[in-house]
Amino acid sequence: MDARVRLDAPTLGARLATPETPPEAPLLMPQQPVSGQRVRVHGETDGRWRLGVMLVAALGITALATTHAWSMMNKDGVSLLEWVGLALLAANLAWVSLACATAVAGAAILMTREPNHRRPALAPLDTNSLTAIVFPIRNEDTSRVTAGAQAIHDQLMSAGAAAAFEFFFISDTTDPELAREEENAISRFRAARPHASIFYRRRTQNHGRKAGNVSEFVRRWGGRYEYMAVFDADSLMTSDALIELVQRMDAQPRTALIQTVPSLVNAQTMMARSQQFAMRAYGQIFGTGLAWWSGGAGNFWGHNAIIRVSAFAAHAGLPDLPGKGPLGGHILSHDFVEAALLRRAGWRVEIAPEIEGSYEESPPTLDDLVARDRRWAQGNLQHLKLLGARGFDPVSRAHILSGVMGYASALLWFSLILVSATLAILIPPVAANGIGGNRRDQD
């Protein structure tokens, strides 16, 4: 069945339009199996051979560094504990080396190619198609969210493109006081922009967390929209960026998702400003390298991206993982998996670092960062159960593995520190005049 076929509203028990929401235009969004048949696109192998180049480079760096460490340990033979340390070192270096190779590739591309070499030829914006600007919110500072939405709307008005976009706030807020603040803030937004299409829906059953929030929106209103641009509560995009994303999707009918590379902004604390500086220093470089080896099997980071709604509805319904929590059940980190499912169905998923005007904020304090990473760690480690699933593109598997290693590598580094400390205790120190001699037989 074509995913864009609108279902009979009474069949699904859909409600009529209210002042808060438009008429429902439901889409089917079936749950996908963990393993499935992969749709192969003839002649499209750009991501796979490029990933192969990156893996060869990363393994080469890892082999050189590990061999050097082995040669230093091998003066008297290598003990079992030292072999364990070498294995941990190699595992950690492989992960770091892939990031290094990605950054080198990105720097080489930026230095040798025109900045716009990846931009396709774009037609003028088609105002007959409709794009939803979707803000999933849950217990947020709604005044901050609506302020960003107003800035986006005003820019779209100035560009003459506002008619092609609608704003949709989809809330999972559980705090009644915050829910009232949401309603008031969005009412003020609507009153200040009376000609804008601004909608608000709050769920009382928060099934599936953020992924469930978005999928419920797609199931109820997805047939109304050609595309949806998904934001976080603290993210923004300029009108130029949004318009270009829509134009690219129009020009590339086989593309299901385009992910921008957001820049960090509005940092006030020392920690947040250090992250913002780091992102400004190498974010574009790393993003360019990542886009190069990803090809048509790029990744999704959950926000600041545009999605073809029909493809998302047809192929990105999340499966439940086998087993119980913390690694089973509902998928918490949904974005990597949705990108992999779209690619498995034969759609292109692209990363577009060259699109400017995409922004987000970072956690201001260490406590905020730890709380966020605690959620992300569980979600990403769940993906261990997906690595062996049938049908995923090799590049999609690489993205999933990178998400796992983002947190598993901390355990590997900690284990390496423990092994190194144990070796330092068990092996007597080398005398100053005996450096390079027999480390176990110093007298």
Q: Where are the domains of the chain?
A: 48-112+409-425, 131-408
Calculate the alpha carbon distances from 327 to 65, 185, 369 in Å. Answer: 34, 37, 21
Which residue from 119, 168, 130 is spatially nearest to 309, judged by alpha carbons? 130
Query: Which range (179-183, 322-326, 342-346, 359-363) has the least confidence?
Result: 322-326
Residue 434 has pLDDT above 50, yes or no: no
- b/e 398-419 (16+ beta carbons within 10 angstroms → b): bbbbbbbbebbbeebbebbeeb
- H helices within 159-269, ranges in order? 176-192, 209-221, 239-251
- How large is the C-alpha radius of gyration of the chain? 25
Which residue from 161, 277, 139, 138 is spatially nearest to 208, judged by alpha carbons? 138
Which residues make beta-bridge pairs with 135? Answer: 169
Checking DSSP bridges between strand 358-360 and strand 305-308, what pairing results, if any? unpaired
Q: Give the number of other CB atoms < 10 A from CB of residue 5.
A: 11
The sign of the torsion formed by the CA atoms of 50, 59, 410, 377 equals positive
Residue 197 has pLDDT above 90, yes or no: yes
**CA atoms lying within 13 Å on the CB side of residue 246:** 27
Arithmetic mean of pLDDT, 287-303: 95
For residues 199, 202, 208 and 209, what is the CA-based torsion angle, rounded to 10 degrees?
90
Which residue from 406, 341, 413 is spatially nearest to 375, judged by alpha carbons? 406
Which residue from 201, 166, 146 is spatially nearest to 20, judged by alpha carbons? 201
The answer to whether 339 and 257 have CB atoms below 8 angstroms apart is yes
Q: What is the pLDDT at residue 401?
A: 94
Report percent pLDDT > 90 for the chain: 64
For residues 373, 377, 379 and 383, what is the CA-based torsion angle, rounded to 10 degrees?
140
CA distance 302 to 292: 20
Grade residue 143 by pLDDT with cuts at 50, 70 and 90: confident
Grade residue 311 by pLDDT with cuts at 50, 70 and 90: very high
Q: What is the pLDDT at residue 20?
A: 83
| Torsion region of 329: left, alpha or beta (phi above 0 gives left; psi -120 to 50 gives alpha) | left
Residue 116 has pLDDT above 60, yes or no: yes
pTM: 0.89
Residue 222 has pLDDT above 60, yes or no: yes
CA distance 385 to 374: 19
Helical (H) or strand (E) element with 348:
strand 348-352
What the block records as the tokens of 349 is 């998923």
Fold of 131-408: Spore Coat Polysaccharide Biosynthesis Protein SpsA; Chain A (3.90.550)
